[in-house]
Amino acid sequence: MNFRTTTILVWLTAGTLCFLSVVTAYGGPPPVVPPGLPPVEAPADNPMTPEKIELGKLLYFDPRLSKDGTISCATCHNPKEGWSERRSTSKGIKGQIGSRNSPTVINSAYHRAQFWDGRAATLEEQALGPIENPIEMGHKLEDVVKELTAIPEYTKRFQAVFGTGVTKDGIGKAIAAFERTILSGNSPYDRFKAGDETALTDAQKRGMQLFTKKGKCALCHTPPTFSNGRYSNAGVDAGKPKPDPGRHDVTKKDRDFGKFRTPHLRDLVDTGPYFHDGSAKTLEDAVALMADGGKDNPHLSSMMKGVRRAKLTDQDRKDLVEFLKALSGQYPVIEPPKLP
Ligand code: HEC
Ligand code: HEC
């Protein structure tokens, strides 16, 4: 065997091993990640399989997860409204209004922690929260388990996927596996990064420069997901009689008061209104507050003050908005499935 054949063989073996390890990690084919996005990692104890994803999809759209059978995950994270909803803050069972804006489920697979304040570590853990939240779905998990157990199609599917009956652990895992398939990439920005010079307009190219350099936006909104996963205070609540404590609720540390996790910025065109309280109606409004360096309050993040010093002009702000539009990509829009 000459040197070249050996090298080719080594590469082929390495490639096959790599592929096999990915396939085993997911217990099935890995999710198809659109161009521009990093690989999706599922926890070791919740590999993704087509059957589990399908079960998760049914649960996601099933209003029987709520106490009065009226609200499903899709009510507040509607595929046709960018997997979020066109309301400032959410409305749960019996018309109760919450205090926070429903974030999109798109690319939530990449968040290091879930919720505006990062109080859930994983999608598995997050999924069970709204079911028991009294103003969201207001149900008891043990009752949900009982009710789903009475539906033969669900017991059959849980058996096939987990080898058990219906469990709350299984509900969380199946929904999380489904959510990990809701990805958006291949935006004009991604195509530009991949070498297509024509993918961005001139305004968008100027906006991209401002975003990374003068405006300092990328320090927090770091590509490719456009979040660094950290928490900052931008003063969105400043001046309210009862500001949302945000991250402080989780850590109880004074310095975390009014801090929220940096949101992703993909698909903003479809996911307004913006901010944790949905107080910015338009993308222009949201960019204006950020470009102003947030609103004054005793806990304003020093990095927001850095943005303020950049003194972004009206033209800069317009270009930033245009750039953000270039982050809108292609994500699945799923019709509600026929429920068992
Ligand atoms: C009544 C509306 C409502 C329902 C129903 C609801 N959610 Fe949410 N969801 C929200 C709101 C509001 C938040 C943000 C709450 C917070 O940060 O404190 C949220 C946060 C999330 C997040 C975190 C996203 C991020 O960026 O951190 C995920 C994921 C999610 N929900 C998935 C689900 C799933 C799965 C279900 C069904 C089991 C569900 N939601 C049901 C309103 C709702
Ligand atoms: C210090 C970190 C930081 C910097 C710098 C920063 N942001 Fe933000 N951004 C945040 C945080 C945190 C939020 C959420 C604030 C809230 O809801 O209370 C946010 C929210 C946003 C939103 C709303 C997204 C949504 O889904 O609700 C937009 C748009 C945005 N930022 C754009 C920008 C732009 C443009 C710049 C640069 C001019 C910028 N940001 C600079 C941290 C930052």
* Whether residue 24 has pLDDT greater than 90: no
307 lines ligand 2 (CB under 6 A): yes
CA-nearest residue, atom 20 of ligand 1: 115
- Using CB atoms within 10 A of its CB, is residue 190 exposed (0-12), middle (13-18) or buried (19+)? buried
Q: Which of 220, 259, 328 to mutate to test the pocket of ligand 2 (most atoms within 8 A of CB)?
A: 220
When pLDDT is cut at 50, 70 and 90, the band that residue 164 belongs to is very high
Q: Closest Cα to atom 31, ligand 2: which residue?
A: 290
Ligand 1 atom 27: residue of nearest CA: 115
Ligand 2: which residue has its CA nearest to atom 41?
A: 217
For residues 189 and 31, which has the higher predicted lDDT (pLDDT)?
189
Give yes or no for a contact between 320 and 207, defined as CB atoms under 8 angstroms apart. yes
Mean pLDDT of 41-48: 95
Distance CA 114, CA 261 (A): 9
The whole-number average pLDDT for the span 310-332 is 97
CA 267-53-104 angle, 5° bins: 20
Instruction: Say yes or no to pLDDT of 222 above 60.
Output: yes
Q: Is the pLDDT of residue 294 over 70?
A: yes
From the CA of 286, the nearest ligand is 2
| pLDDT band (50, 70, 90) for residue 32 | confident
Contacts of 193 (CB under 8 A, 6+ apart): 36
Largest CA distance in the chain: 78
Which of 122, 120, 121 has its CA nearest to residue 133?
120
Q: How far is the CA of 315 from the centre of ligand 1 (A)?
A: 35
Q: Which residue among 86, 87, 290, 304 is best mutated to probe the pocket of ligand 2, counting the most ligand atoms within 8 A of its Cβ?
A: 290
